[in-house]
Amino acid sequence: MKAVIFDLDNTLIDFMRMKKISCEAAIAAMIDAGLQMDKDKAYKKLFELYGVHGIEHQEIFQEFLKKVSGKIDYRILSRGINAYRKMQVGYLEPYPHVRSTLIALKKKGLRLAIVSDAPKLKAWMRLTEMGIADFFDVVVTLDDTGKAKPHAMPFKAAVKELSCAPAEILFVGDNPARDIKGAKDAGMKTALAKYGQIFPANGISADYELNDIADLIKKT
């Protein structure tokens, strides 16, 4: 192996934990600001909208307020967004052993990269907030290709930047249908981040399974 490519959310960071806690804070703040809605029902409706618009949708709280109230009350909206952002910063942390694993891989002389479906600014903000941005030689985001995994373009973009053959690259991700399938189709070796897996495999298998990101050191 000459390089390792990582997915970002739920592979290097516990994204869904951060998302859920931040959304709970946002809902509580909006209700406190005057939103007339049960907290549990509001939370459920918000995640239904994430399912429709995507987990990275930039104006999800606007969509939420339009859906449940028929209009956007900016006093309520601002309280929700501020609460979300404050909570997000507090819970945005890498999984255990991420930093030590990245250090070990670098010591082996491996090039490291990110291929993420997150928008460019959000991806870089997460990397810098966690203090791990400098580990990566290449970062490919949704804005760079306009295509989400498992489309071939994000993987090809990373391969080009790394100057390695696909067979010399190990891809690590939590989503079988997007990460593992896309990387396999691109000719890479694959490792499933079981510790962050949310979506079922549905018959898609990786070359390796990782119960802890530190397991990766033995696979390279």
Looking at the structure, tell me whether residues 185 and 101 fall in a common domain: yes
DSSP state of 150: T
How far is the C-alpha of 10 from the C-alpha of 149, rounded, in Å?
15
Within 8 A by CB and 6+ apart from 74, the residues are: none
Res. 90: pLDDT tops 80: no
Mean pLDDT of the chain: 94
Q: Compute the distance between CA of residue 138 and CA of residue 79 in angstroms, rounded to an integer.
A: 36
CATH of the domain at 168: 3.40.50.1000
Q: What's the CA gap between 36 and 17, in Å, rounded?
A: 26
**Cα(216)–Cα(208) distance, rounded to whole angstroms?**
9
- Considering its fold, how many domains does the chain have in total? 2
Q: What is the pLDDT of residue 48?
A: 93
Provide the pLDDT for residue 210: 97
Pair 108, 198 in one domain:
yes
Residues 85 and 189 in one domain: no
Query: Is 170's pLDDT higher than 80?
Result: yes
The whole-number pLDDT of residue 63 equals: 97
- Give per-residue pLDDT as tens, 137-164: 999 999 999 999 999 999 999 999 999 9
- 78 with 101, same domain: the answer is no
What's residue 15's pLDDT? 86
Q: How confident is the model at residue 58 (pLDDT cuts 50, 70, 90)?
A: confident
Q: What is the pLDDT of residue 64?
A: 98
Considering the domain architecture, whether residues 213 and 170 belong to the same structural domain is answered as yes
> Residue 6: pLDDT above 80?
yes
CATH of residue 78: 1.10.150.520
Tens-digit pLDDT profile for residues 25-56: 999 999 999 999 999 999 999 999 998 887 88
For the segment 13-18, the average pLDDT, to the nearest whole number, is 88
Whether 172 and 127 map to the same domain: the answer is: yes
Domain boundary among 91, 122, 153: 91
CA distance 175 to 187: 17
Average pLDDT for residues 184-188, to the nearest whole number? 98
Domain extent at residue 75: 16-91
Which pLDDT value is given to residue 93? 85
